Amino acid sequence: MEINLLIIAKTQNKNIEQLIDEYAYRISHYTKFKIEIIQTKKTIQDTEKQKIEECKLIEEKLQQCQNSNIVLLDETGIELTSKEFASQIESWQNKFKKTVFVIGGAYGFTNEIKSKYFKLSLSKMTLPHQLVRLFFVEQLYRAFTIIKGENYHH
């Protein structure tokens, strides 16, 4: 299964970006993995307008992902343990050729886009979207090591 990660705007912190790149490299040993950055306009003063604009760009990108499994990373989604997430990835590998995970901007997703796709939460806590990127790629890597029975997960 091919996995894409769509993110809004480039990661600002170079240290976080380096760690994301390290996990992306590790994931590439298990599956085809690609991070796509959706560039947005400079921050709009109205947060709701910003969210709407970002979700419009996400939807445009997702239209190119016909027949793909789409998963939004959103605080209202279901929470899984690392082992449950690995099991979910394994299940999706048997059903889909491609899964696209989407991390929205700082203000999240509109209700309209949330109603269309599967939602997964990394935590009930509010996390900075820059760090969510890092946490997610680490958990994705961990999932593949669990699936393969490797020693990374204790």
Beta-carbon contacts of 83 under 8 Å, excluding residues fewer than 6 positions away, are: 146, 153
Say what the pLDDT of residue 131 is.
94
Please report whether residue 153 resides in a domain.
Answer: no
Structural domain count of the chain: 1
Say what the pLDDT of residue 111 is.
96
Which residue range(s) make up the domain with 143?
Answer: 2-147
CA pair distance 51, 46, nearest whole angstrom: 9
CATH code of the domain in which 77 resides: 3.40.1280.10
Question: What would the pLDDT profile of 30-67 be if each residue is shown by its tens digit?
Answer: 999 999 999 987 667 888 999 999 999 999 999 999 89
Please report whether residue 104 resides in a domain.
Answer: yes
Question: What would the pLDDT profile of 84-132 be if each residue is shown by its tens digit?
Answer: 999 999 999 999 999 999 999 989 999 999 999 999 999 988 888 889 9
Contact (CB, 8 A) for 69 and 100: yes
Please report whether residue 152 resides in a domain.
Answer: no
| pTM score, whole prediction | 0.95
Residue 99: closest CA among 33, 24, 21: 33
